[in-house]
Amino acid sequence: MDLRTLTALELGALIKKKKVSSPEATRVFLDAARRDFDKSADDETKINAYTDLFEAEAMAQAEAVQERIDAGEYLSPLSGVPVALKDLICTKEGTTTAASKILGGFRAPYDAGAAERLKGAGAVILGKVNMDEFAMGGSTETSHYGITRNPWDTSRVPGGSSGGSAAAVAAGFAPYALGSDTGGSIRQPCSFCNLTGIKPTYGSVSRYGLMAYGSSLDQIGPLAKDARDCAVSLSIISGRDGRDSTSVMEEPFRFCDIIHGEFGDGRMGGLKIGVPANYFSMPGMKDDVRGAVLGAASVLRGLGADVEEFDLPMIDYAVPTYLIIACAEASSNLSRYDGVKYGYRSPGAKTIHDSFYRSRSEGFGTEVKRRIILGSFVLSSGYFDAYYKKALRVRGLIKSVFDEALEKYDIILAPVCPTVAYGIGGQIDDPLAMYLGDIYTTSVNLTGLPGAAAPCGFGEGGMPVGMQLIGKAYSEGLLLDTIARFQLATDYHKQAPKEHKAERKRAGRPETQEGGRPETQGGGRLETQGGGRPETQGAGRLCENAAVFASEAKQSIKTSCKPGLLGLPRRCAPRNDGLSTQSGGSFCAPGEDGGAR
Amino acid sequence: MNIDDKLIEYLADLSRLELDTEEKAARKKDLADILDYMEKLNEIDTAGLPEMTHPFGAVNRFREDVVTNGDRTEELLANAPDRKGPYFRVPRTVEE
C-alpha cells in the first residue's frame, strides 16, 4: 500500500491500529519530498513544493508521538500523521521565510498558534512549503526560492499563494497541509490542484505566528484530499488564542459527525443553495469551469438540496476594494522588515537610513514592492479619502449583499477561479490579469465569511476545476458536511495526477475506521438506498457524466417563473419559509473518543 | 491617473524603497494601470456610509496584562544580522 495516496484520516486510522507507525509514515513522505527537493532547479519534473524539509526534527517528533500512541495515548485522529506548513507559519524548527529573501534563514523563536495546536494533536511537521513571496500572488511564481510546479501538469502553475501547500498534497509529499488565505490563497490552489480546502471565518483560527499580509483578511486553513480531512484539521487548529486579539471564537470547532463519516443517508434535504447567475457571465469566465460548477449544482440538487439561481451584485467591485485594503495593510505590516532585528541586511550601507532603504530594496521582490507602493499611495494624505476610505465603505456594501443573500440561502455556490491552472509565466508580467483571477474569492475575505473549495470536474487539458461554497459566519460545519456528502456521490476528489494515479488505484482503501466509512466509490451508498429521487439513482454515473446529468436535471425543473440564465430555478418573489433546519456541524464533547483533542 | 516622477519618488520614500530608473518606470506604469482600474469604485455613491475596517465589527479580545514569558533575549538576538552583547547593532545613526 502506498501511504502517500491515503487521506490524513485514513493514515491516522492505520497508525492508531498499529498497521503502520508514525516514523514509518513520516519517512515515506520525507523520502518522496527529498527526491523532489534534490532535483535540479531546471528539471521540469521538479515540483519544488518545499522550501525547507525538517528531516531530523520530523523523525524525532514522529518517534515521540509513537511512544505516546504505544502507551495508549490518543491525541487526535491525526496523531502521528505528518503535515506540511506554508512558509509563513512560524515554527521553532527550521526556517520560516515567507518565501522572501528579506527573511532568508530566519528561524522563529516560537511556534504559531496553529502549529502549536497541531503539535498538541500529535501532528508531525515535515517542513515548510513554498508560496508567493509574503503570500502576494496567485501562482507561486513570486517566491524567492523558485517556482512551484503543478503536479497535474508541470508546465502549469499550482496556483497561489499557498501553491506549495497544494502541490505537496497533490504530489503525495504530505497527507495534508496548512495554508493561509488573504484573497483566495487557499481556495484557488485547491481548485488548480484538485484538493479540498477552506478559508475559515475570520477570527476562528489564531493568526499568532502567521506572518501578516492583510491583517483584517488573513486566515489560516487546511488544504487536503477531502472534506473530512479539512474537518478534522480545522477542528484541531481553531478556537481562541489569547495571543491574537482578533481570535474571537471561544470554542474550537468539533466536527465529529463529519470526521466519523456519519452522514445518515447522504442526502441534504432542505438545504438551500443559491447560485449567483451573474458570476457565470463575467468576462474571462471559461466554459469548462462554468460547465463543471453547474454540473456540481445539479449533483447537489440530485442529492436533495434546493438549488436556485439569483444575482449577487457588487462582484465588479470586489477586486479593486480588496487590492486597496490588502495593499494598505501590507504596506503597514511589511514596514517591520528593516534589516535591524532579523532577516536580510544590505552589506554596503553606511548609515542606518541607507540600511533601511537598501535592505528593503534588495530584500523584497517585484510584486511585494508593487503592493507596498500601492499601499503607500492609498494611505498617503491627499489620496487616503478617495481610495482607502472609499474602499472601506464599499467593503461594507459588499458585506451587506452577502448578508442579504445568506438570509435566503444556507450556501452560495460559485466558481473559485474563472480558469483552470494556466501555464507558468502566463500572467506573471500582467499584474491586473493576475489580480482578476481573484474575482470570485476576495469577497469572502472582505466579508470575513467562510469559503470552501472542492473538486467538481476537469476542464481544458484535463486540469481540475474547483467549486466554491460560501456560508454564514461560523458555518464551516455545514460547508464541509455538504462537500463531504457531495464527495460520497462523486469521485472527482479521488482523482490524482497521472504519476500517482496508478499507485492510488493499486493502494485501494484501507480498512474502515470506527464510524464505518462506506465504500464510497461512485456513491455506492446512494445507490444502495431505495426511495431516492430518480435523479440520484445510479449516482455513480454522476461523476462520469455530470454534463449529461445537468441537462437532464435542467429539463426536469418545474418552476412557475421564467427559467434563469443557468437553467436553474430562479426566485421571483421573496419566500417566507424559514431557514433550513440542518445544523451547521456538530461538536464532540471534550475528551470524547474521536474528538480532535 | 498620471503618475509623475515626483509622485513615484515620494511613494518610494514613504515605502523606504530605492528604485532604479528602470524600476521607477515600471512601477509608474503598474500604478497608473491599477489606479485606472480602481476608478471603478467611483461608480458607487458611498456618501455617508460607514467605513468597515473589520469583517464583523467585532471588538478586540484583550487578555489580562500579565507577564507570561521570561527573558528571551538570546533567542530573539539569534536572528539579528549584527549584535553587540545584548543589543542589536546598526550602522551609524547620526551624521558626523
The 3-state secondary structure of A146-166 reads CCCCECCECCECCCCCCHHHH
User: One-letter amino acid identity for A420?
Assistant: V
pTM for the predicted model, two decimal places: 0.88
In the prediction, which pLDDT does A383 show? 95
Which three-class secondary structure state does DSSP give residue A32? Answer: helix
pLDDT of A565: 74
Does B33 map to a domain?
yes
Residues of A in contact with B40 (CB under 8 A): 316-317, 320
* Strand spans (E) along A384-472: 411-415, 451-458, 464-471
The residues of A carrying an active-site annotation are 86, 161, 185
Give me the torsion for CA of A281, A285, A287, A289, rounded to 10°.
Answer: -110
What residues make up the domain containing B9? 5-43
pLDDT of A283: 87
**Beta-carbon separation of B46 and A390 below 8 A:** yes
What is the pLDDT at residue A513?
34
Query: Residue A242 in 3-state DSSP?
Result: coil
A373 touches chain B (CB under 8 A): yes
> What CATH number should be reported for the domain holding residue B12?
1.10.20
Residue of A nearest to B87 (CA): A341
10 Å CB burial of residue B95 (0-12, 13-18, 19+) is exposed
Tell me: the pLDDT tens digits for B74-84? Answer: 999 999 999 99
- Superfamily, domain A3-263+412-523: Amidase signature (AS) domain (3.90.1300.10)
Per-residue pLDDT of A73-108, as tens digits, reads 989 999 999 999 999 999 999 999 999 999 999 999
φ/ψ of residue A210, rounded to 5:
-95, 120
Residue A305 is predicted with a pLDDT of 97
Which residue carries 430562479 as its cell? A570
In whole angstroms, what is the distance from residue A455 CA to residue A468 CA?
9
Closest Cα in chain B, distance from residue A163 (Å): 24
B61 burial class (0-12, 13-18, 19+ CB within 10 angstroms)?
middle
The boundaries of every CATH 3.90.1300.10 domain in chain A are 3-263+412-523
Dist CA A458 CA A293 (whole Å): 10
Ramachandran area for residue A242 (φ above 0: left; ψ -120 to 50: alpha; else beta): alpha
Average pLDDT, chain B: 90
For chain B, give percent helix, strand, coil, nearest 5: 40, 5, 55
**CB-CB contact of A225 with A239 (8 Å):** no
pLDDT value, residue A563: 58
Closest chain B residue to the Cα of A320, Cα to Cα: B38
8 A C-beta contact, residue A289 and residue A419: yes
B11 within some domain: yes
Compute the mean pLDDT over every residue in chain A, rounded to the nearest whole number: 87
**Cα distance between residue A85 and residue A195, in whole Å:** 16
| Domains: count for chain B | 1
Helices (H), A47-108: 55-70
CA distances from A65 to A19, A125, A234 (A): 15, 12, 20
3-state secondary structure of A309: strand
Asked whether the beta carbons of residue B40 and residue A377 sit closer than 8 angstroms, the reply is no
Q: Which of A:436-455 have CB within 8 Å of B?
A: 446-449
More confident residue, A457 or A560: A457
Whether B58 is in a domain gets the answer no
Q: Which set of grid coordinates corresponds to residue A586?
A: 456538530
* Least-confidence region, from A117-126, A236-245, B49-58: B49-58
Query: Which of 138-167 (A) contact B at CB < 8 A?
Result: none
Interface pTM (ipTM) of the complex?
0.95
d(CA A235, CA A229): 10
Phi, psi of A127 (to 5 degrees): 160, -170
CA-based nearest residue to A163, from A197, A195, A129, A196 = A129
- Which of A170, A193, A238 is CA-nearest to residue A465? A193
Percent of chain A with pLDDT over 90: 78
- In angstroms, the separation between the Cα of residue B1 and the nearest Cα of chain A is 12
Q: Which of A311, A307, A306, A282 is nearest to A294 (CA)?
A: A307
* Position A11 confidence tier, pLDDT thresholds 50, 70, 90: very high
> Is A302 part of the contact surface with chain B (CB cutoff 8 Å)?
no
**Predicted local distance difference test score (pLDDT) of residue A527:** 29
- B35: in domain: yes
Cell of residue A473, nine digits: 459566519
pLDDT given for residue A538 in this prediction: 29
Q: Which residues contact A278 (CB under 8 A, 6 or more apart)?
A: A311, A312, A313, A315
CA distances from A242 to A194, A203, A222, A296 (A): 35, 12, 22, 40
Residue B18: Cβ within 10 Å count: 17
d(C-alpha B95, C-alpha A366), whole Å: 31
User: CB A320 to CB B40 under 8 A?
Assistant: yes
Phi-psi region of A578 (alpha: psi -120 to 50; beta: other; left: phi over 0): beta
User: Is B77 contained in some domain?
Assistant: no
For residue B61, the distance in angstroms to the closest alpha carbon of chain A comes to 5
Q: What tens digit of pLDDT does each residue of A268-284 get?
A: 989 999 999 999 999 89
pLDDT average, residue stretch A556-583: 48
- Which range has the worst mean pLDDT, A218-227, A417-426, A551-560, B52-61? A551-560
**Omega before A161 cis (within 30°)?**
yes
Q: What is the pLDDT of residue A572?
A: 52
Q: Which three cell numbers stand for residue A433?
A: 490579469
pLDDT band at A557 (very low <50, low <70, confident <90, very high): very low
Q: How far is CA A524 from the centre of its chain?
A: 27
Structure-block grid coordinates of residue A455: 473538486
Reading the block at residue A260, the C-alpha cell is: 466519523
Q: Among A147-161, A461-475, A525-539, B53-67, where is mean pLDDT lowest?
A: A525-539
Which residue from A minimizes the CA distance to B32? A374
Rounded-to-integer distance, Cα B15 and Cα A324, Å: 15
| The pLDDT of residue B57 | 65
- Let me know if residue B64 belongs to a domain: no
pLDDT for the residue A526: 29
Let me know if residue B26 belongs to a domain: yes
Cβ contacts (< 8 Å) between B60 and chain A: which residues? 245-246
Q: Which residues contact A296 (CB under 8 A, 6 or more apart)?
A: A413, A456, A457, A467, A486, A546
Q: A13-41, pLDDT tens digit by residue?
A: 999 999 999 999 999 999 999 999 999 99
Dist CA A281 CA A302 (whole Å): 24
Q: CB neighbours (10 Å) of residue A35?
A: 11
Q: Tell me which chain A residue has its CA closest to the CA of residue B92.
A: A351
Query: Looking at the partner chain, which of A360, A374, A390 has a beta carbon nearest the beta carbon of B16?
Result: A360
Task: Calculate what percentage of chain A has a pLDDT beyond 70.
Answer: 85
Whether residue B96 lies inside any domain: the answer is no
Question: Distance (Å) from the C-alpha of residue B88 to the closest C-alpha of chain A?
Answer: 7
Give the residue among B7, B26, B18 at the shortest CA–CA distance from A431. B26
